[in-house]
Amino acid sequence: MDFKLIFIVYIVCELFELFYMQRGSAFNAYIMNLLEIYKKGIVRFLCLHPSFYAVIFTAIYFNKFSFSAFVLITFKTLDIIFKLILLDRIIKTKPLGMFTQMFENDMPLSFLFKLIVMAIYAAVFCAAFMI
């Protein structure tokens, strides 16, 4: 396999997450979508993050564990952990701390913002694994 094919698979994984996991034009809608997935099971929730697994596979496949690869894996891991902690707090009705204002104000999340985040992840992916 060459890098181009793996990069296309990675982009497809990111697009899947963008259109399925990150639905919602506001923070509340985004979190409620994640909550519905989380309630169906944590294994399903974890399986629906294919870009995380694609990054790990690519690092192992190319045997490249550079600083940018480490940063990408760390950000993806922290993203999943952050979501799990937030969803757990919502289910257990614990205080949300600084996220309370985001829920109360129903902070908008534009599609452009989500695309920019995806583009940043893709750029770091290229920097980490391009041969």
Separation CA 26–CA 118 (nearest Å): 17
User: What is the residue-averaged pLDDT of the chain?
Assistant: 89
Between residues 69 and 24, the one the model is more confident about = 69
- 67 alpha carbon, distance to own chain's centre: 19
Q: How much is the pLDDT for 97? A: 74
- 77 alpha carbon, distance to own chain's centre: 8
What distance, in Å, lies between the first and last C-alpha atoms of the chain? 12
Q: Residue 131: is its pLDDT beyond 70?
A: no
Q: What is the mean pLDDT of residues 119-123?
A: 94
Q: Residue 114: is its pLDDT beyond 70?
A: yes
Q: How much is the pLDDT for 95? A: 77
Q: Could you tell me the residue ranges of all domains in the chain? A: 3-129
Q: How much is the pLDDT for 107? A: 77
Total Cβ atoms within 10 A of residue 109: 18
What is the per-residue pLDDT across 45-104, written as a single tens digit (0 to 9) for each? 999 999 999 999 999 999 988 898 999 999 999 999 999 988 988 888 877 777 777 777
Q: Residue 25: is its pLDDT beyond 70?
A: yes
Q: How much is the pLDDT for 28? A: 84
Q: What is the mean pLDDT of residues 97-118?
A: 81
